[in-house]
């Protein structure tokens, strides 16, 4: 073999080696592209799920805010009702402690045949006070 043939064989082998390197490179490039496409698809899915989660979280926050507002409104209503009921209780206590009401209770109970000690206990007065009220009514 002469030098030119040997050089041609070496260059051909180098070209084949380069060709095999290029083929291997393109195969790896195709795999890399497929991997990149898969990753992009997964990333798109992840972004979609994150958006859905953000939307659900916003709905939860809005729902919580609405419930808090409703609870505040109900609390205000409850406070108003409490004040009204306190006023009514004070009126009732004032009325039940009024002398005319106590007199009426004692006279009604006496008319029903209840003894003076029971009437005293029911009205919070002494037995003597109950007796005086009954005697004044009898006169």
Residues 122-132: tens digit of each pLDDT = 888 888 888 88
Q: Give the residues of the chain that fall short of pLDDT 70.
A: 1, 139
pLDDT of residue 103: 86
Are the C-beta atoms of 134 and 110 separated by less than 8 Å?
yes
Cβ neighbours around 119 below 10 Å, total:
24
pTM over 0.75: no
The C-alpha angle with vertex 72 and arms to 67 and 75, in degrees rounded to 5, equals 125
């Amino acid at each position: 073999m002469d030098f030119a043939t040997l050089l041609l064989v070496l260059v051909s082998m180098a070209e084949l080696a380069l060709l095999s390197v290029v083929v291997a490179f393109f195969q790896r490039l195709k795999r890399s592209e497929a991997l990149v496409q898969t990753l992009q698809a997964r990333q798109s899915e992840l972004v979609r799920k994150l958006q859905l989660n953000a939307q659900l979280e916003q709905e939860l926050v809005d729902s919580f805010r609405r419930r808090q507002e409703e609870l505040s409104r109900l609390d205000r209503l409850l406070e108003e009702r409490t004040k009204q009921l306190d006023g009514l209780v004070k009126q009732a206590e004032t009325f039940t402690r009024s002398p005319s009401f106590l007199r009426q209770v004692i006279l009604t109970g006496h008319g029903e045949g209840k003894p003076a000690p029971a009437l005293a206990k029911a009205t919070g007065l002494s037995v003597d006070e109950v007796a005086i009220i009954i005697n004044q009514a009898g006169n």
